[in-house]
Amino acid sequence: MARPKVPLISRRKALEAALEIVDTEGLDALSIRRLGEALNVNGASLYHHFRNKDEILAGVTRLALADAAAPPAGNENWRIWLTRGAHRIRQALISHPELIPVVLRRAPLGLGLEENEARARRLRAGGVPLPMIAPLLEGLELLAIASALQEVGQNGLLVDGDGETAVPALHAAVEARGMSSEELFGVMVSSLISVVESTVRLKEPRLAAERLSKA
């Protein structure tokens, strides 16, 4: 369908309304028609901004994750900036759990390329060795998605009312847990950054030799 020449509503307003539908009614409830109803416009008006539902989903996801893409403040250390971004991705997915499946199938929607390009450029500008960048971005995103999934799934270790008698050891462990899921995520993020950094630095002489041999 051809896009109208003059938009009746802004793209931002449409995405905010779409995010509200996804959060309150579920991912399957979102459609051009339903979004038009929420905005009190004919669904055809939305074709000025979006070609199809997938473009709306991509835009909604970018809107929800916008804070995670914020650039570092001044000369902020890249580790601090990257850690904050990982926490923001996790929190955004916890706040908007219906978007987790969208993030998991991001490639067909073209999600993440521009954001990760910007992150890669900032990491390089911050002095991060090139071989570290992809493992860092992939690993932190994996941790954020997995942690959000566990959080919205109400923690796989939760024990029901009969847990004290049915699984007493597990019940006691859950009751006495020494850190929250958010604290655990923070520890995992810090550990991943340290492990990637040390592993890549150890491998760098061999990688450099391999690159030289292929030259």
pTM: 0.82
- Is there a domain that residue 5 lies in? no
Whether the per-residue pLDDT at 154 is higher than 80: the answer is no
pLDDT tens for 39-83 read: 999 888 898 889 899 999 999 999 999 988 888 777 889 999 999
In whole angstroms, give the CA distance from residue 48 to residue 62. Answer: 19
Does residue 89 share a domain with residue 43?
A: no
Residue 16's CATH number:
1.10.10.60
Q: How many domains is the chain partitioned into structurally?
A: 2
Kindly state the average pLDDT of the residues 183-195: 95
CATH label of the domain that carries residue 138: 1.10.357.10
On whether residue 4 sits in a domain, the answer given is no
Q: Are residues 41 and 84 in the same domain?
A: no
Mean pLDDT for the stretch of residues 70-99: 91
Structure tokens at 85: 């971004």
Q: How far is CA 133 from the centre of its chain?
A: 17
192 near 82, Cβ under 8 Å?
Answer: no
Range(s) of the domain holding residue 118: 68-214
